A and B are shown apart, each in its own frame.
Chain A
Amino acid sequence: MSAAPLPESDLGRARDEVATCVGADQLGPGLHLLTLEAPEAARAALPGEFAQLQMVPGPLLRRPFSFSSVDPGRGTVSFYLRVYGEGTRRLARLALGSTVRLLGPLGRGFTLPESRGSSLLVAGGVGAAPFPHLASRLLAKGERVLWLNGAASSDELFPLGLMPSGLARSAQVTDDGSSGRQGMVTDALPELLDGMDRVYACGPNPMLQAVAEMVGSLRPEAPVEVSIEAPMGCGFGTCLGCSIPLLSRGTAVPGLCCRQGPVLVAGQVDWEGLRRQPSHLE
């Protein structure tokens, strides 16, 4: 514990508000887009930050989801989620007009660049979740944004139509070749890296590790930020349930996904340690 501590999220912006369901769309098998009226979160949430959603009645603990898009004008936020268990199943079936409690924004989000350049956004499966929000913020800053999206098959790809317009390029890969190129995101990654100033990635932990290693060898000047998933209890640092192995100047330090993450610089993650961990609450 002698290594320098990694920066933590600021909890001071988090609010616990009652959010009303204004949209619940199934986008694929077990994949849903939930849109909630939550004016405070819509005003405050930055790309890569997350909210803890609670259904009443429902499971005891809240469930964490990255903000997928925010619309401060309408006061709405959306979440792209995959059904894993009871909590996500109930959220996916939320009726229009019904309410949930939303605690957020929480966590540390993506770093937005100081100067204009080119960003590559890499998503695997439901890991597309935070990218509509990030892409629109980057585009608004005049950034050139490339989008690489991978999934098991075409019906599990995040719809391109839900990404903001103005992407410089987009590429899709599927495990079964049913849409775009057949293979994994790392098969399509090398040809997109040329000229990239930074890479943002979200998806299964092994994919994040592979992306980080590939960028590190092919385009070492481009920093990589990854959004990590871990089983979470509270979301604000008190239950200590979402422990993840991190590195501070090369020294292993215990970290919390909810406070030091969920977005981390790839070099801050102890990938081998993370490989042995579960990725969601059972």
Chain B
Amino acid sequence: MGGEVVIGRGLALESPVGAASGTFGYGFEAERMGNLAGLGAVFTKGTTVAPRPGNAPPRIAEVPGGMLNSIGLQNPGVEVVASEYAPRWRRWGPKVIVNVAGSTIDDYVRVCQRLDLVPEVAGVELNISCPNIAHGLDLGVDPHAAAACTRAVRKVTGKALIVKLTPNVTDIAEIGRAVQDGGADAVSAVNTYLGLKWSHIRGAPVLPGSGMAGLSGPAIKPLALAAVARLVAALRIPVIGIGGIASADDAREFLELGARAIQIGTANFYLPGIAASCAAELRQGAGPA
């Protein structure tokens, strides 16, 4: 269970354990802290065509068993990632899969076109499900739009193409089938659940604006397992499980359910060595190959 896994297009990961987008930056903090060893993949911060400063604070709030975030896709833009960050990934053991975000299909195409030229990028993960930026087109909740975005990116990239799905839909399997038909090599699920924290002292949401934000952490693990179970039953392509994983046993639950690989997210914030230790623990449990 803990050895090498293949995620489409020959993308082989030395471990099924990855670090989830938005919880690991571009991997450099973990590199400096010695927490990259043995990981299968680093899924980077959501990357857009142009740099984005992100949302005004406060951006995070804690809730029982989890946290809400509304970061607003702060990132340096694809050019910096491709030309300045990627060369620093060259000697890494973990594969780097760049998470890609945008407002229009054209945004995704442009970012993926640029990344296709970068040898250090092992794959792209389309974030068609970020709840924290306003856009007219909700790509992640409309199966036709999700398929169209996947198809458009498929035409411009030879890299492994993973589509990260939002759980904030009626039927996640329907979206999964649509992106599978659009040419995705794998899906990853789930992104954050829409949540809100209210301050009755102030009579207002804790986070700015409407207060809507993405809920992550152990609180969502049963919800994520249910979503992954539906996807595994509905799809031919691999499913990468994400949602509240904070231990090797949590990871095993997703893998036994049928996920090909998993990503550790929020736990990286409070247990910075957790992804590496889970990878090591699963590898030990895997026994001789």
Q: A residues within 8 Å of B by Cβ? A: 1, 10-12, 14, 16, 54, 59-62, 103, 230-231, 233-234, 236-244, 254, 276-278, 281-282
Is B24 a contact of A238 with CB atoms below 8 Å? Answer: yes
- Selected interface stretch from B65-73, B145-153, B251-259: B65-73
CB within 8 Å of A: which of B58-79? 58-62, 65-67, 69, 71, 74, 76
Is A12 a contact of B57 with CB atoms below 8 Å? Answer: no
Is B268 a contact of A234 with CB atoms below 8 Å? Answer: yes
Is chain B's binding surface mostly helix, strand, loop or mixed? loop
Is B272 a contact of A103 with CB atoms below 8 Å? Answer: yes
Smallest Cβ-Cβ distance to B23: which chain A residue: A238
Judge whether B183 is part of the interface by a CB distance below 8 angstroms.
no
Is B59 a contact of A16 with CB atoms below 8 Å? Answer: no
Residues in chain B near residue A10, CB distance under 8 A: 32
Nearest 7 CB-CB pairs, A to B? A241-B60, A234-B269, A11-B32, A238-B25, A240-B71, A254-B53, A233-B60
27 A-B residue pairings within 8 Å (CB atoms):
A16-B271, A16-B273, A60-B62, A60-B266, A61-B67, A61-B270, A233-B67, A234-B269, A234-B272, A237-B25, A238-B24, A239-B23, A239-B60, A239-B71, A239-B269, A241-B59, A242-B57, A243-B54, A243-B57, A254-B54, A254-B74, A278-B57, A278-B58, A281-B60, A281-B61, A282-B199, A282-B206
Report how far A1 CA is from B51 CA in the complex, Å. 8
For B250-282 the 0/1 string (1 means CB < 8 A from A) is 000000000000000010111111000000000
Is B62 a contact of A281 with CB atoms below 8 Å? Answer: yes
Is B33 a contact of A12 with CB atoms below 8 Å? Answer: yes
Residues in chain B near residue A282, CB distance under 8 A: 58, 61, 197, 199, 206
Question: Given A238-B268, A240-B71, 7 other A-B contacts at CB below 8 A?
Answer: A12-B32, A16-B272, A60-B218, A231-B57, A234-B272, A240-B74, A241-B58
| B24, B51, B56, most chain A CB atoms within 10 A | B56
Is chain A's binding surface mostly helix, strand, loop or mixed? loop
Report how far A277 CA is from B56 CA in the complex, Å. 9
Number of contact residues on B: which range applies? Answer: 35 or more
Shortest Cβ gap from A62 to chain B (Å): 5
CB within 8 Å of A: which of B144-190? none
Judge whether B29 is part of the interface by a CB distance below 8 angstroms.
yes
**Residue among B29, B32, B66, B268 making CB contact with A60, cutoff 8 Å:** B66
Residues in chain B near residue A237, CB distance under 8 A: 25, 29
Judge whether B3 is part of the interface by a CB distance below 8 angstroms.
no
Is A236 a contact of B58 with CB atoms below 8 Å? Answer: no
Judge whether B217 is part of the interface by a CB distance below 8 angstroms.
yes
Smallest Cβ-Cβ distance to B24: which chain A residue: A238
Is A231 a contact of B60 with CB atoms below 8 Å? Answer: yes
Shortest Cβ gap from A282 to chain B (Å): 5
Is A238 a contact of B60 with CB atoms below 8 Å? Answer: no
| A10, A59, A236, A281, most chain B CB atoms within 10 A | A236
CB within 8 Å of A: which of B182-210? 197, 199, 206
Residues in chain A near residue B61, CB distance under 8 A: 281-282
| B23, B206, B270, most chain A CB atoms within 10 A | B270
Residues in chain A near residue B56, CB distance under 8 A: 243, 276
